[in-house]
Amino acid sequence: MRQKQVYKSPIAAMLWSIALPGLGQLYNRDYITAFLLLSLEFLINLYSNLNLAIIYSFNGDYRLAHEIINYEWGLWAILSRYLWFCGLASL
C-alpha cells in the first residue's frame, strides 16, 4: 500500500535555513544533516563568544564586544553560512 506524501514547500525550508542552519533539514525530515548543522552552529557560537559580543554591542559597549569575540571562530560562522547559502543557490 502506498503512503501519502506530504507536500513540503522549498521556500519554507529555505526560510528555516536562513533563520538557523539545520532547521530547514528538520523541516524536510533529514535528521542527520540537521543534527550536524545545528551542532556546528552551536559550537561556532560557543567558541567565538558571538552571542556575548552581540549583547555587549547592543548595550553600546563596543570595546568589550571587540575584546571578547574570537574572530577566528567568528569567521568560521560567516564562512559556513556563506558556503551553505551558495549550496542552496546552486539547487
Q: Grid coordinates in use for 49?
A: 563568544
Q: Give pLDDT, residue 22.
A: 86
Q: Give pLDDT, residue 59.
A: 94
Per the listing, cell 538557523 goes with 20
The verdict on residue 5 lying in a domain is no
Average pLDDT of the chain, as a whole number: 83
Q: Give pLDDT, residue 87.
A: 66
Provide the greatest CA pair distance for the chain: 64
What is the number of other CB atoms lying within 10 angstroms of the CB of residue 38?
A: 16
Q: Please tell me the total count of domains within the chain.
A: 1
Q: What is the pLDDT of residues 43-85, one digit of tens each?
A: 888 888 888 988 999 999 999 999 998 888 877 777 776 776 6
Q: Give pLDDT, residue 84.
A: 67
Q: Give pLDDT, residue 89.
A: 52
The verdict on residue 4 lying in a domain is no
The verdict on residue 48 lying in a domain is yes
The verdict on residue 44 lying in a domain is yes
